[in-house]
Amino acid sequence: MGKWVEGRVIARHHWTAELFSLRVDAPVETYQAGQFTRLALDIDGERVARPYSYVNAPHERPLEFYFITVPDGPLTSRMVELDEGDRIWVQSRAAGLFTLEWLPDGEDLWLLSTGTALGVFLAILKTEEPWNRYRRVVLVHGVRTGAELTYRDTIAELQDRHGEQFRTVSLVSREDHSGALRGRITHAIEDGRLEQAAGLQLGPETSQVMLCGNPDMVSDTTALLEARGMKRNRRKEPGHITTEKYWG
Ligand code: FAD
């Protein structure tokens, strides 16, 4: 990856006690929506770095990142304390193949996320490519509580812009929440509620699926999709399933 460049925090926004976003000004290189960079802080004389997906589309500034504070997490427990004007290191060159460039065409594009992985899909949805290439685009966001259904204004703007082409399905696992399905993404695929809510079938004939976030969701959902005859997307052998895990 590229060199470290010095960034400055422009704003910090708290969504819940654990979820926050940072807006950062830093001279990074051009990247593709869906890619991640690395952020770092110098803590006790050591540079502590972790990968983070860009939430802003490549044409948008400032840079934006979406985090959960992990209890005792070496980096997030410090990043949550950053204030406007504070320094943060940003790797200038982004990385990752979780982009539409590597996705085969298909009728419908399904974007399945848990928690903070919503952000990577917002970057993709704020570009023109998904809307030019797919008949329908479905954004699925699974969280634990209703308060964790964040970035509602951004999603509402996308809905206004793209109307019927854009479908969203929210799932809340630990409580009932108006407008959201109750439970996990895997269960809603198994019992048909996800397809019913999206008004679309999920299968090898029509769907390209990108999955991002919790490694259990990614693995378990991949297994369910494979049981429907869908295959992992590989460079030499195009399939239907493209994944990125945030840990594990
Ligand atoms: P660590 O000691 O590194 O804690 C790791 C543990 O925290 C994991 O084992 C897991 O149990 C938990 N954890 C890590 N990330 C998450 C998460 N996102 N949600 C719930 N639990 C988590 N994290 C983000 O918050 N936003 C992002 O945009 C993001 N993008 C990533 C992109 C890639 C390609 C990868 C591989 C990871 C990404 N992560 C993202 C995770 C991130 O790199 C760190 O692991 C996380 O911020 C915790 O760092 P830490 O030093 O505080 O704790």
Domains and CATH numbers, the chain: 4-91 (2.40.30.10), 100-245 (3.40.50.80)
Q: How far apart are CA 100 and CA 133, in angstroms?
A: 9
**pLDDT at residue 45 tops 70:** yes
Q: Considering only CA atoms, which residue is closest to atom 44 of ligand 1? A: 50
Q: pLDDT digits over 143-196, tens only? A: 999 999 999 999 999 999 999 999 999 999 999 999 999 999 999 999 999 999
Question: Please, what sign has the CA dihedral across residues 82, 27, 98, 32?
Answer: positive
Q: Please list, in sequence order, all residues whose beta carbon lies within 8 angstroms of the beta carbon of residue 203, skipping any fewer than 6 positions away.
A: 228, 229, 230
Does the beta carbon of 215 lie inside 6 Å of ligand 1?
A: no
Cα–Cα nearest to 121, from 104, 95, 141, 148: 141
**pLDDT at residue 23 tops 60:** yes
The helix (run of H) or strand (run of E) holding residue 220 is helix 215-227
Does the beta carbon of 110 lie inside 6 Å of ligand 1?
A: no
Contact between 194 and 181 (Cβ < 8 Å): yes
Pocket mutation for ligand 1, best pick of 70, 113, 242 (most atoms within 8 Å of C-beta): 70
- pLDDT confidence of residue 1: 54
Does the beta carbon of 115 lie inside 6 Å of ligand 1?
A: yes
Q: pLDDT digits over 188-245, tens only? A: 999 999 999 999 999 999 999 999 999 999 999 999 999 999 999 998 999 999 999 9
Cα–Cα nearest to 134, from 91, 102, 100, 180: 100
Give the pairing of strands 46-53 and 36-43.
antiparallel
Distance 135 CA to ligand 1 centre (A): 33
Q: How far apart are CA 80 and CA 63, in angstroms?
A: 16
Does the beta carbon of 50 lie inside 6 Å of ligand 1?
A: yes
Does the beta carbon of 247 lie inside 6 Å of ligand 1?
A: yes
Q: pLDDT digits over 88-113, tens only? A: 999 999 999 999 999 999 999 999 99
- pLDDT confidence of residue 235: 87
Contact between 60 and 119 (Cβ < 8 Å): no
Does the beta carbon of 67 lie inside 6 Å of ligand 1?
A: yes
Q: Which residues of 168-193 are buried (b: 16+ CB within 10 A; e: fewer)?
A: bbbbbbeeebeebbebbbbbbbeeeb
pLDDT category of residue 47 using cuts at 50, 70 and 90: very high
Question: Is the peptide bond prior to 71 cis by the omega test (within 30 degrees of 0)?
Answer: no
Does the beta carbon of 68 lie inside 6 Å of ligand 1?
A: yes
pLDDT category of residue 73 using cuts at 50, 70 and 90: very high
Task: Report the atom number in ligand 1 closest to the C-alpha of 74.
Answer: 51
Give the pairing of strands 63-68 and 19-25.
antiparallel
Task: Give SS3 for 221.
Answer: helix
